[in-house]
Structure 1
Amino acid sequence: MDRPTGKTGWFRIMAGGLLLLTAAIPVAAFAVSYPAQLYHREERRDVFVKGDIVYLFHSGTDVVKDAVHVNDTLAVHRITPLCEVVPVGLIKVTSFVGETYIRGEVLAGEIRPDDVARKEKVSCLVISADMCQK
């Protein structure tokens, strides 16, 4: 088969290249269109079970101090990637640490950092224990 020559040949090559390029761009864009925060999030491996000590971060406002007291029980929930709130355990408050932390003991369930402990209108974030022990 003879190679196309002249203006007609270059036109065919350019049209074919342009067609190939327009077909490839949407495919490449689709390959990176997934939610980055779900797929690039580091998976945490530490799990707290019954008897373990955990630390909770809170806002330090009077609302928290009025609602949460020593020996209170907080329900712990996990928020899934689909934004579902799933109950995962219970924490008993053992003491307040500084202005914005609560020390607690796991009573039931498997609790991970980034879970949310709740009582009434107050929510606290579960953090890893090594952050407050230094």
Structure 2
Amino acid sequence: MTSAPSPSSPRPSARKPPRRRRRGRTAAPLAGAGQQQMTLRRAPNIWAFVVLGGIVGIVVGVLVGLAGGGSAQFTQGTVVLFMVSVFAVLGLAAGAVVALVLDRISVARARAVTTEVVDEDAVPGPRAEDPPADDPRSSREG
């Protein structure tokens, strides 16, 4: 007697691993119309600071590597490559720290504002049969 899996049972290898869901903040639903309190702040783009820090670190590493004197043990290219790798990591870390400090400052400077919530369906827009204002046909009479 052999035990074979039944066709109705899923094979373990055919199963896909469950997807991880990112935990994110859900936005508060907007009111139908009227005024609503919101928090306004300008947050920095962290990845832009990290990448910029890495680029600055690479440039500084090249300059330090080229400025250093040669050695009997290491070639100039080896020294430059080592300095670039060290300063690139330091630049990435410095960019991340600067971005986090600016983010904390933006949280401290956040202010509450009152916004006017407008229903999209209630706002009158241009009609489809009206030509755009910059269309030369709109100035013709006739």
* TM-score with structure 1 setting the length: 0.25
* TM-score with structure 2 setting the length: 0.24
Give the structure with the larger strand fraction: 1
By relative contact order (CA 8 Å, sep 6+), the higher-ranking structure is 2
